Structure 1
């Protein structure tokens, strides 16, 4: 693994969930010459190798995390809060899809949009 690739993997690991732009900003603190194109290419390669995965948490750039970081993302479409639940929370849906369609659900690569408890109760301000 090249030093630049290791920097990208380390940044993804440290940030937990991060867009390519956030990853690039983190890396530039250590190596200012790394550009966004290098980050995108490296993320593609790391995903092919099974080291990272991406999820679309809404509009805009995908969010990357290390592959072992598996859960379902819950995204509030009012305030943007991000929460996580175990993939097992969708086990019943996975079984239904398998039985009815032969479809194997990968819940670790999934984001559900809705309204968080704070927004639902009217406690959160809109952002």
Structure 2
């Protein structure tokens, strides 16, 4: 639940970083095995596109009980890296292939605000 005070705290947090991004996705529980399997052999074109877009240290984490996926990556400029991967020629094909795994609306990244970082 968001409030104006919480929104302001999150927006003004000195821990916010243009170099780190964490997000949530929601996979259909009955599709988890297939979804995880698809990520054991991510297409070389997609891996290359992510690297060229500036995505580094990209990781996905799974809460198997309900299909919640947490994604994390680093970049020199997270916003620019997200825009670059969205423009990559391979992205629409990858997104289409992955769409069957997500709950309605669950394939849209929900970016989580960073409010603490211990370097």
Q: TM-score, normalised by structure 2?
A: 0.26
- Whichever structure has more strand as a proportion of its residues is 2
> Larger Cα Rg: Structure 1 or Structure 2?
1
Q: TM-score, normalised by structure 1?
A: 0.25
